[in-house]
Amino acid sequence: MSSGQRLLIVGGIALALWGMGYGLWYAVFAEHQALDGIGASLATGFSAAAERNTTGADAALLQYRAAKYNYDRQVDVHGHWIALAMLLIVVGIAYDRVEFSRSVKFAAALGLLLGSILFPLGVLLETASQGPIPKGIAVLGSALVIASLAGITYGFARVPSATRD
C-alpha cells in the first residue's frame, strides 16, 4: 500500500467516524431544539402579524433567520464530512490506478484530505462568526478538493504506462 493510498484510506475512515460522531452529537443534543426553534419562531412571526404586532413579527423572523442559518450549516457540515470521507476511501482503494509519480500522487492525496477537512470546518465556523476567516477557510478547502480531484481524475483517465506504446 503506497503512502498516498494509506493517507486516503486511513484519513477517510477517521473522517467518516468524526462526521458520524458529530452527526450523532448534533441529532441527540441540538437538532430537535433547532427545528423546534425554527418552527416556533416562524409561527410566532405570523401570529404576531395576525395581532397586527409588526415589531413582534420582525423580532420572531430575525430569530428564524439566525436559527435557520445555523441549522443549514450544521446539517451541511455533517453531510459533507461523511460524503467526502466515502470519496476518500473509494479513491484510496483505487489509488494505485492513478498514473502519476509517487510524489505527485502523495501531494494530490494530501490536498484532497486537507480540503475534505477544511471545507466543512470553514462552514461550521461560519456559525460562530460571519467574518471573512471562516469563509476563507471554506473557500480554501473547496479549492483544494476541486484541484486535487481534477488531478486525480486525469490520473485515472491516463493510459497505464505499461500499455502506452
Partner 1 sequence: MVTPSNSARSSVVGVDLATFAPLSARRLLVLGGIALILTGMIFGDIFAVFTLHQNAARVGAGLAAAAHAAVQGDSRAVISNFQNVGAFLENRGTKVDTHVHMIDFGYLALMLAILQPWIAFAESLKKKLAWIFLFGAGLLPVCVFLIHYVGLAHSPFAAIGWASVFADFGGLLVIVATLAFLLGLVKHFRTPARATNPDRLLADRSGPSRALLSGGLALVLLGFLHGAYYAAADLYAHEELDYKLLSTMTANAASKDAAAVDTALANYGQLQGEKAVNIAAHAHSIEFGLLAMLLAFFQPYVGLSDPWRRRWVVVFLMGSLLLPVCVLLELRYGLVAGGVADFGGLLVIIALLAMWIGILRYTGYLDTSMAVVPGAEDE
Applying CB under 8 A, the residues found at the interface with partner 1 are 13, 39, 42-43, 45-54, 57-58, 61, 64-65, 68-69, 72, 83, 86-87, 89-91, 93-94, 96-97, 138, 142, 145-146, 149-150, 152-153, 156-157, 160
User: Phi then psi for 28, rounded to 5 degrees?
Assistant: -75, -45
Q: Whole-angstrom Cα distance, residue 76 to residue 124?
A: 9
- Minimum CB distance to partner 1, residue 147 (Å): 10
CA distance 16 to 80: 10
Give the shortest CB-138-to-partner 1 separation in angstroms.
8
At its nearest, how many Å lie between partner 1 and the CB of residue 156? 4
Residue type, 120: P
Cβ closest to partner 1, residue 33 vs residue 54:
54
Q: How far is the CB of 47 from partner 1 (least distance, A)?
A: 4
Decide: 96 and 5 in contact? Cβ < 8 Å.
yes
Decide if 109 contacts 4 (C-beta within 8 A): yes
Question: 66 or 107, CB closer to partner 1?
Answer: 66
| Residue 10: exposure state from Cβ atoms within 10 A (0-12, 13-18, ≥19) | middle
Query: Nearer to partner 1 by C-beta: 64 or 81?
Result: 64
Identity of the residue, 97 or 102, whose beta carbon is nearer to partner 1 in the bound complex: 97
